Amino acid sequence: MRKVMTDAELRLWNELRAHRLMGLGFRRQLPIAGYIVDFACPAERLIVDVDGSQHGNDRDQTYDQIRTRRLEADGWTILRFWNDDVLKDIDNVCMHILIVSGKDKS
């Protein structure tokens, strides 16, 4: 587990912990199925990961695919956002989370 969040993780965490997302209760750095996920909403079985450029290489993409399949097999929905998307368009990221969670009322 990391104690220091990236700028993008901190930006998203500030939105999540303030319950600005229709009251969804997220926890950060949660261990699930042998993996540490960035953010999880256990009530909705929703995981949100924020990825940096290192996730663009072949080795990390393969690892992420295996990890995603394992978590999905346990009934979790996984959303992945690039750091840049979180930093440049937090509103759209939050809206996507709401839509996937079924909490979007628009």
CA angle 84/77/70 to nearest 5° reads 105
Contact 101, 44 (CB under 8 A): yes
Largest distance between two CA atoms of the chain: 39
- Quote the DSSP letter at residue 8: H
Residue 69 covered by a domain: yes
> Is the alpha carbon torsion for 66, 38, 10, 5 positive or negative?
negative
pTM: 0.87
Q: The domain spanning residue 66 has which CATH number?
A: 3.40.960.10
CA distance 106 to 70: 32
What tens-digit pLDDT sequence spans the chain (106 residues)? 567 889 999 999 999 987 667 788 999 999 999 999 999 999 999 999 998 866 555 677 888 899 999 999 999 999 999 999 999 999 999 999 999 998 765 5
Residue 3, both tokens = 């104690």
Residue 1 lies in a domain: no
Which pLDDT value is given to residue 10? 95
